[in-house]
Amino acid sequence: MSELDVRSTPGPPNSASATLEGQPATPPVGESRPHSQGALSALAEIAETVILTIIIFLLIRTAVQNFRIDGDSMEPNLHDRQFLLISKLAYRFDEPRRGDIVVFRFPRDPERDFIKRIVGLPGETVEIRRGQVFIDGQPLAEPYNPRIGSYDAPPITLGRDEVYVLGDNRNNSSDSHTWGPLPLANVIGKAIIIYWPPKDWAIIPSYSSAVP
């Protein structure tokens, strides 16, 4: 008799399975280990969750994006360090409207994002006289109450894919009155919600500013 006591495992006579004292049985070939199945199932669930999360994130980023205001060019309506949500799909289903606030790539430096308000639409002639905006020779009513500028800007007729944008804080804004029309291709999206800080939470109103 050897030093290790070999014992037959319970089973029918002539069973080939056996265990050594203190050693676990080796499952017969072809049988799966229950704990391995559980581990694989858990990994599969984690992978599915991660993939679904990534897909949802990409879909959301396709539709909306957050943006932080830097500066006071949109005072008194929007303020420095406010956070906004912008709709990136707004103009895939609708045309730009006068009064919309848009975030766009600065035409002179596409690495920089600006935020301004649309005052002139494609095909219109825009002029500014002593701060008053004129559209096709008629003064523009602006119910969002901007801080009127003290400058003049010569008449300019917009192309079919251009808009004229101004900051609400007219004397402290780099906008179309200094660098010209904004190509619609540069527009990233329309500002729709202020979400931070919480006390400023608001849906950004839409305007149907009409030329009298």
Q: Which residue has the tokens 């935020």?
A: 115
Judge whether 116 counts as a catalytic residue.
yes
C-alpha 180/C-alpha 153 separation (Å) is 10
Task: Please report, as a single letter, which amino acid is at residue 200.
Answer: D
Q: What Cα–Cα distance (Å) separates residue 202 from each residue in 26, 84, 102, 162?
A: 66, 10, 16, 29
C-alpha 60/C-alpha 46 separation (Å) is 21
Task: Please report, as a single letter, which amino acid is at residue 68.
Answer: R
Contact at 8 Å (CB) between 123 and 142?
A: no
Nearest to 192 by CA among 205, 175, 178, 179: 205
Marked catalytic residue, from 8, 41, 73, 150: 73
Nearest to 99 by CA among 175, 151, 164: 164
C-alpha 163/C-alpha 161 separation (Å) is 7
Nearest to 156 by CA among 171, 176, 142, 139: 176
Marked catalytic residue, from 87, 116, 190, 209: 116
Residues identified as active-site: 73, 116
